[in-house]
């Protein structure tokens, strides 16, 4: 279950808002889990998204759809840099293996702050998932990323980033999970690969249209 929540964090962080009428498709793969997201920016500050996660948790296969809005609250544009503050709001639910609706219809509330130049990237994301039956003990998650580009590529060249990712979930045992990643950018496609220090692999692909 911890992997599920961390997956949702990853997806919702991926690229909250692109450009007006832009579409982003994202796919993430971790052990026993596959996620896809479709994200459409309806206004320069707002995107609507739908996410679908399929997870094998041993004896049960979970299907976890959700819909959410990603809102750009504030952006700071400078020559050669950009900083953003986002809010994510939505609703998700469990569909159990037999097709029935599970008892976990939950809200999705998140914030993301990031700063980027052509050579440096850093982002912090935090989420909570309130349900009607568990308002007193809300689970929360947090992720921090820092990346460096060893060189700056033009649009028609391959851009590589070295990224470090730290994740923490309320209720998770042990220290936060650290995953070193390599991120590749080519024109309108991004993909990332990595393995955490405890052996959890990560593969993500994203395309913008």
Partner 1 sequence: MLPFLFFIAQSIAGETADIEVTVKGMVCSFCVQGLEKTFGGESSVEKVTVNLDDSLVSVWLKDELSLADERIQTLVNDSGYNVDKITRTPPASDK
Which of 52, 186, 191, 203 is the binder for partner 1 (CB under 8 A)? 186
**Where in 48-67 is the site for partner 1 (CB under 8 A)?**
none
Tell me the window of 58-66, 96-104, 110-118, 133-141 that interacts with partner 1 (CB under 8 A).
110-118
Q: Cβ of 78: how many Cβ atoms within 10 Å?
A: 8
Pick one of 59, 77, 98, 136: the residue that binds partner 1 (CB under 8 A): 77
For tokens 């947090």, what's the residue?
142
Exactly one of 32, 57, 61, 81 binds partner 1 (CB under 8 A); which one? 81
Binding letters toward partner 1, positions 129-168, x by CB under 8 A: -----------------------xxxx---x---------
Main-chain dihedrals φ then ψ at residue 133, nearest 5 degrees: -95, -5
For the stretch 66-70, contacts whose Cβ atoms lie closer than 8 Å and that sit 24 or more positions apart, written own/partner, are: 66/8, 66/90, 66/91, 66/92, 66/93, 66/108, 67/91, 67/92, 68/12, 68/92, 68/108, 70/12, 70/16, 70/17, 70/39, 70/46
By the rule CB under 8 A, 31 interacts with partner 1: no
Give the shortest CB-191-to-partner 1 separation in angstroms: 12
């Amino acid at each position: 279950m911890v992997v599920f929540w961390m997956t949702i964090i990853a997806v919702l962080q991926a690229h909250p808002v692109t450009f007006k009428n832009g579409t982003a498709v994202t796919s993430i793969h971790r052990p026993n889990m596959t996620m896809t997201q479709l994200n459409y920016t309806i206004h320069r500050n707002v995107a609507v998204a739908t996410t679908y996660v399929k997870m094998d948790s041993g004896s049960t296969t979970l299907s976890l759809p959700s819909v959410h809005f990603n809102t750009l609250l504030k952006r700071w544009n400078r020559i050669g840099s950009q900083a953003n503050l986002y809010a994510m709001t939505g609703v998700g639910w469990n569909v159990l293996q037999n097709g029935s609706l599970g008892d976990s219809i939950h809200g999705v509330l998140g914030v993301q702050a990031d700063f980027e130049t052509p050579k440096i990237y850093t982002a912090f994301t935090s989420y909570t998932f309130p349900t009607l039956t568990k308002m007193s003990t809300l689970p929360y998650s947090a992720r921090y990323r820092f990346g460096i580009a060893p060189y700056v590529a033009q649009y028609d060249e391959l851009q590589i980033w070295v990224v470090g990712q730290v994740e923490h979930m309320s209720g998770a045992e042990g220290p936060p999970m650290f995953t070193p990643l390599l991120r590749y950018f080519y024109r309108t496609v991004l993909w990332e690969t990595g393995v955490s220090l405890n052996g959890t692999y990560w593969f993500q692909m994203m395309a913008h249209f």
